[in-house]
Structure formats: C-alpha cells, structure tokens
Amino acid sequence: MDRGSWNGDSMTADARPAAPALTERQEARRRRILHASAQLASRGGFEAVQMREVAEAAGVALGTLYRYFPSKIHLLVATMQDQLQHLHTTLRKRPPAGEDAAQRVAETLMRAFRALQREPHLADAMVRALTFADRSVSPEVDTVSRLTTAIILDAMGLEHPTPEQLSAVRVIEHTWHSALITWLSGRASIAQVKIDIETVCRLIDLTAEPDRG
C-alpha cells in the first residue's frame, strides 16, 4: 500500500498532511505532553498513562491535551513515533554489521528489543496502543509502520526492494509486533522472541536477489 507520498527524505516523519505550523509555545506544549506521556508510561505502562495526569504533568488543560491528541491511543502512537525516530537515528549512526541481510535485520530487531527491555512499561504502553488502535488512528499507525519498514530496509541495505521482498518485510513486521505482545503479556520469554525473530528473518534468504546468487 503506497498511500503516502509526503516528503520522507528527512527522518522527521512529518506525518500531518497540512501540519498547521505550530507556534513556538505550541511546539513546546506538544513536547511537554509527549514527554509526560513517555514518563508516565515508563512508570506503569498503558494504564498508568491517564489523560488527566498527562495534562497535569505537562501543565496544560485537559481540553488542550485532547486538542493536540484526540485520544489516548493517538497520544501513545505519537509517543511511539517519537521513540522510533530516535531509534532510527541511532541505528543510522551504528548500522548492524552482519554478513547477510537476514543477520543484519535480526541484529537490528534484537537491538530494538533490548532497548525495549530497558523500558518494559513504556514498551507495553506503546505496543498495546499500536495494536489496539482502530481506524481513526490509521494514518498515525501507518506512519509508525512506514518508519519500521524503513528501519528494516535500511538493515537489509536495499534501495529498491522487489514486491517479494516487501512481502517478507511485512511478515517480519507482523512477527515483530506480535512477538512483542506475547513477551509483554508474559506468554513468551526473551529467548523465545529471539528465536521467532531469527526464524522469520530466514524468509529474507528466500527472496535474495537472484542475480546475486
């Protein structure tokens, strides 16, 4: 699905089609809100992010919070965008060093996974919001998905992936999200997530460019 064509070169993921050019104070408010959200999420996960508390911690009125983020899910998905942006930047500085594409992707995802393990509550809030989001949050979720895709393609070292390869990437993303869910809900161990990631990354080998052998 190639619905978006907004400028993607800078990694700013400027998700709004017509971002109404916030004033400085508004930009600051937005940052304070996202910061408060991440802070509360880090403490107690999804349920600890309570809109009244976010508003208070960010120093804005409840109505204002809802003007910036029309629901708790929107807020948490935006928080995830924010975090992914950081990760992407970090990864670009120190790219994975594996032999083949599958290894590099697995390494990249395991790095992301370790980052999440350091803030499991935050991970809980973000991932639960992401998978619980309904249609009204689709544009934002899609942005997260595109970011994730970009990270994986970076790891694969591909500029112009084939449709087959894009399918493999989508399946990897599916596995990534769902494996995180099972880990967060205590139904799978860290080791198991690792295995699942490595398993799904073998799909990449199946779609290696034929002209490379």
Helix axes 51-58, 72-93, angle to 10 degrees: 60
Residue type for position 31: R
Could you tell me which residues come within 8 angstroms of residue 121 by beta carbon, excluding any fewer than 6 positions away?
41, 42, 43, 44, 45, 48
SS3 187: coil
Write the CB contacts of 166 (distance below 8 Å, at least 6 apart in sequence): none
Contact call for residue 179 and a copy of itself (CB under 8 A): yes
Distances (CA, A) of 192 to 41, 72, 79, 179, 182: 25, 31, 27, 9, 10
Q: Does 83 bind a copy of itself (CB under 8 A)?
A: no
Which one of 40, 106, 137, 153 is in contact with a copy of itself (CB under 8 A)? 137
203 in contact with DNA (CB under 7 A) = no
32 contact, one of a copy of itself, DNA, none, CB 5-8 Å limit per kind: none
Q: Should residue 62 be labelled a site residue for DNA when binding is judged by CB under 7 A? A: yes
- By CB under 8 A, residue 77 contacts a copy of itself: no
- Cα–Cα distance for residue pair 73/130, rounded to 1 Å: 8
Among 128, 152, 156, 183, binds a copy of itself (CB under 8 A): 128
* Between 102 and 137, CB nearer to DNA: 137
Q: Confirm or reject binding of residue 23 to DNA (CB under 7 A).
A: yes
Confirm or reject binding of residue 64 to DNA (CB under 7 A).
yes
Which amino acid is it at 64? T
Contacts with a copy of itself, 190-209, as mask; x by CB under 8 A? --x--xx--xx-xx--x---
Report the residue from 15, 36, 72, 152 that binds DNA according to the rule CB under 7 A: 72
Distances in whole angstroms, Cα of residue 14 to Cα of each of 17, 90, 96, 97, 129 = 8, 19, 26, 30, 20
Which residues here bind a copy of itself, judged by CB under 8 A?
Answer: 1, 46, 128, 131-135, 137-138, 141-142, 145, 164, 167-168, 170-171, 173-175, 177-179, 181-182, 185-189, 192, 195-196, 199-200, 202-203, 206
